[in-house]
C-alpha cells in the first residue's frame, strides 16, 4: 500500500504536502455536494421558517383591524398547524433577553432572519420568535424546531467538521507517515547499531529530504569509520614495529654484566612491552564485532570467577545458578575479567554478584581495596588515564586501558556502568545490562 502511494505522490515532503492539501480540497468538495443533495432531498426542519412565517402573519395582522378579524387569522393559522399568539408588550417586558446568547444560537445553527425585525426569546418555557405589531402588542410564533438537526445546522456542521477536524487529522497523519516515522526509524537505528558493524546503518527510503538525510548520515558514518580504522591501523603498525628494536635492546641488555644499569634497562623494556600488549589488546576489534545472543549470563560470570580462583586469587561469585539473557558472552567475560584483574591487584577479596530485575541484569564487582577518589571517577574510563594516588603506583599495574575496555564493552551492550564506594572500604563497579523479556533467575 505504501509503495502504491509513493509511486503516485511527489517524492519531496513539500510536494507531498501540497498534494495532500489538493486531494483534501477535492474530497471536501465532493462530499460537500453529497451533503447538499442530502439536505435538499430530506425534509429537515428549517429554523428560518419561523421568522418568515411570523413576518408574513404580522404583516396581515397590521392591515387587519383589532377584533374578531385578527382572531380569525390566528384561528386559521392554528388549524394549519402554526402556533401564533398576540401578546401585549407588558407581558413580555419582564422576560430577560440575552442578545449575546441568541446571537450565538443563530450563529451555531446558521439561522438567517433575512432582515426581519424580531428576536428569539423564551416565553412560558417555550421558544418563540417575536415581532412587534404596534405600540402595544407583539406577535409570538412558537415555532422553534424541537430538533437541533436543522438544515442549516447539518450544513454548517459538516463544513466546520471538515475544516477543524478532518483536515487537521489528515495533515497529522501525513506528518506521521512522511516525517515522524522516518525520524523514529533513524533514531532507532542510531541507538541499536554500532558504527563498526555493517555497511549501511540507515536505510535510504522515504521522501527526497529523508533520503538525503540518511545518505548524509551514512557518508558521515563512513568517514568516521575510515578515520578510526586509519588511526587504529597506524597504532597497530607502530606497536608491531617497536617489537623488533625492543627485542634487540633486550638481547643487548642481557649480554651486559649484572648491575643497576642492566636491571633498569630490562625493566624499561618490560614496561614498554606490556604497554604494547595492552594497546594491541585495546585495539582488537573482535569484541565490537561480536553479535548479541541469548546466553546464560550467570554461567559467564561463574566461569570468569572460577578461572581466577583456580590460580589462587580471592575471587568469588554470588547470585543465581542460571540467568538467561541477551549479551555478548566473550565481550562480557573480558569486561568482568578486567574488573577482577584490577581488583586482585589492590584488594584482598573480590566478589562478583548478579541479580535480576524485570528489565535488566544487575552485576556488581566489589573489592575491599583503597578505592578510587571521587575526583578521578569521571576520568578512569578514559584510555591511558592512571590515578597514582588511589591505587598505589599505577605504572606497576598497567597503563590505564582496562576500565576503558570495560566501558566500551558495556556501551556496546547498551548498558550502564557506575563506580560506587564499598563499605567499610573499597570500590564497587555496578553494571546494568538490558535483559530480554521473561528472563528470571533459577
pLDDT for residue 251 is more than 50: yes
Mean pLDDT of 223-249: 79
105-119, 384-398, 414-428, range with the lowest pLDDT? 384-398
3-state secondary structure of 352: strand
Looking at residue 290, what is its pLDDT? 75
Three-state secondary structure string covering the chain: CHHHHHHHCCCCHHHHHHHHHHHHHHHHHHHHHHHHHHHHHCCCCCCHHHHHHHHHHHHHHHCCCCCHHHHHHHHHHHHCCCCEEEEEHHHHHCCCCCHHHHHHHHHHCCCCCCCCCEEEEEECCEEEEEEECCCCEEEEECCCCCCCCCHHHHHHHHHHHHHHHHHHHHHHHHHHHHHHHHHHHHHHHHHHCCCCCCCCCCCCCCCHHHHHHHHHHHHHHHHHHHHHHHHHHHHHHHHHHHHHHHHHHHHHHHCCCCCHHHHHHHHHHHHHHHHHHHHHHHHCCCCCCCCCEEEEHHHHHHHHHHHHHHCCCCEEEECCCCCEEEECHHHHHHHHHHHHHHHHHHCCCEEEEEEECCCEEEEEEEECCCCCCHHHCCCCCCCCCCCCCCCCCHHHCCCCCHHHHHHHHHHHCCCEEEEEECCCCCEEEEEEEECCCCCCCC
Nine cell digits for residue 59 = 404583516
Neighbours of 387 (CB within 10 A): 16
- Give the span between the Cα atoms of 156 and 271, in whole angstroms: 87
**Which class for 7: exposed (0-12), middle (13-18), buried (19 or more C-beta within 10 A)?**
exposed
Confidence of residue 151 (pLDDT cuts 50, 70, 90): low
pLDDT for residue 46 is more than 70: no
pLDDT for residue 90 is more than 90: no
52-61, 63-72, 172-181, range with the lowest pLDDT? 172-181
Looking at residue 431, what is its pLDDT? 93
* More confident site: 46 or 344: 344
Nine cell digits for residue 176 = 506521521
Beta strands 350-356 and 427-434: pairing type? Answer: unpaired
The DSSP output letter for 430 is E
CA of residue 71 relative to chain centroid, distance: 74
Looking at residue 147, what is its pLDDT? 46
* More confident site: 394 or 3: 3
Confidence of residue 317 (pLDDT cuts 50, 70, 90): very high
Looking at residue 138, what is its pLDDT? 84
Q: Check: CB of residue 272 under 8 Å from CB of residue 316.
A: no
pLDDT for residue 298 is more than 90: yes
Looking at residue 306, what is its pLDDT? 93
Q: Check: CB of residue 352 under 8 Å from CB of residue 308.
A: no
Least Cα distance to 269 among 256, 286, 282 occurs for 256
Mean pLDDT of 57-80: 82
Looking at residue 158, what is its pLDDT? 72
- For the whole model, what pTM was predicted? 0.51
Confidence of residue 318 (pLDDT cuts 50, 70, 90): very high
pLDDT for residue 355 is more than 70: yes
* More confident site: 422 or 441: 422
49-53, 290-294, 376-380, range with the lowest pLDDT? 49-53
- Helical (H) or strand (E) element with 315: strand 315-318
- Helical (H) or strand (E) element with 116: none
pLDDT for residue 92 is more than 50: yes
Q: Check: CB of residue 392 under 8 Å from CB of residue 371.
A: no
381 sits in the region (left: phi over 0; alpha: psi -120 to 50; else beta) called: alpha
Confidence of residue 116 (pLDDT cuts 50, 70, 90): low
The DSSP output letter for 197 is S
Place of cell 522516518: 182
- Asked, as a colleague might, if the bond just before 131 is cis with ω within 30 of 0, I would say no
Nine cell digits for residue 30 = 465532493
- Asked, as a colleague might, if the bond just before 295 is cis with ω within 30 of 0, I would say no
pLDDT for residue 182 is more than 60: yes
Looking at residue 285, what is its pLDDT? 55
Amino acid at each position: 500500500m505504501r509503495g502504491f502511494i509513493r509511486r503516485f505522490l511527489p517524492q519531496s515532503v513539500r510536494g507531498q504536502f501540497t498534494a495532500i492539501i489538493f486531494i483534501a480540497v477535492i474530497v471536501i468538495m465532493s462530499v460537500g455536494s453529497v451533503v447538499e443533495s442530502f439536505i435538499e432531498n430530506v425534509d429537515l426542519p428549517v429554523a428560518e421558517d419561523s421568522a418568515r412565517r411570523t413576518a408574513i402573519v404580522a404583516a396581515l395582522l397590521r392591515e387587519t383591524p383589532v377584533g374578531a378579524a385578527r382572531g380569525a387569522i390566528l384561528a386559521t393559522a392554528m388549524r394549519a398547524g402554526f402556533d401564533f399568539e398576540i401578546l401585549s408588550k407588558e407581558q413580555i417586558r419582564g422576560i430577560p433577553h440575552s442578545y449575546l446568547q441568541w446571537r450565538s444560537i443563530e450563529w451555531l445553527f446558521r439561522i438567517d432572519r433575512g432582515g426581519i425585525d424580531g428576536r428569539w426569546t423564551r416565553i412560558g418555557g417555550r421558544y418563540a420568535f417575536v415581532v412587534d405589531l404596534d405600540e402595544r402588542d407583539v406577535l409570538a410564533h412558537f415555532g422553534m424546531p424541537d430538533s437541533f438537526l436543522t438544515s442549516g445546522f447539518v450544513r454548517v456542521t459538516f463544513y466546520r467538521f471538515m475544516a477543524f477536524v478532518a483536515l487537521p487529522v489528515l495533515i497529522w497523519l501525513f506528518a506521521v507517515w512522511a516525517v515522524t516515522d522516518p525520524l523514529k526509524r533513524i533514531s532507532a537505528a542510531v541507538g541499536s547499531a554500532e558504527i563498526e558493524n555493517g555497511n549501511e546503518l540507515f536505510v535510504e527510503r522515504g521522501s527526497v529530504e529523508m533520503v538525503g538525510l540518511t545518505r548524509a548520515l551514512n557518508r558521515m558514518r563512513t568517514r568516521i569509520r575510515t578515520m578510526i580504522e586509519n588511526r587504529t591501523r597506524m597504532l597497530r603498525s607502530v606497536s608491531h614495529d617497536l617489537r623488533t628494536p625492543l627485542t634487540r635492546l633486550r638481547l643487548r641488555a642481557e649480554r651486559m654484566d649484572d648491575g643497576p644499569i642492566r636491571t633498569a634497562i630490562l625493566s624499561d623494556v618490560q614496561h614498554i612491552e606490556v604497554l604494547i600488549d595492552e594497546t594491541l589488546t585495546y585495539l582488537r576489534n573482535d569484541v565490537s564485532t561480536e553479535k548479541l545472543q541469548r546466553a546464560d549470563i550467570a554461567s559467564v560470570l561463574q566461569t570468569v570467577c572460577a578461572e581466577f580462583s583456580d590460580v589462587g586469587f580471592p575471587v568469588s561469585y554470588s547470585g543465581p545458578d542460571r540467568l538467561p539473557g541477551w549479551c555478548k558472552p566473550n565481550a562480557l567475560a573480558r569486561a568482568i575479567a578486567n574488573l577482577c584483574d584490577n581488583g586482585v591487584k589492590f584488594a584482598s577479596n573480590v566478589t562478583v554478584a548478579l541479580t535480576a530485575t524485570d528489565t535488566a541484569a544487575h552485576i556488581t564487582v566489589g573489592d575491599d581495596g583503597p578505592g578510587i577518589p571521587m575526583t578521578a571517577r569521571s576520568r578512569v574510563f578514559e584510555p591511558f588515564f592512571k590515578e597514582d594516588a588511589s591505587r598505589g603506583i599505577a605504572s606497576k599495574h598497567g597503563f590505564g586501558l582496562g576500565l576503558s575496555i570495560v566501558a566500551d564493552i558495556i556501551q556496546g551492550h547498551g548498558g550502564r556502568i557506575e563506580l560506587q564506594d564499598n563499605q567499610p572500604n573499597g570500590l564497587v563497579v555496578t553494571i546494568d545490562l538490558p535483559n530480554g523479556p521473561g528472563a528470571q533467575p533459577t
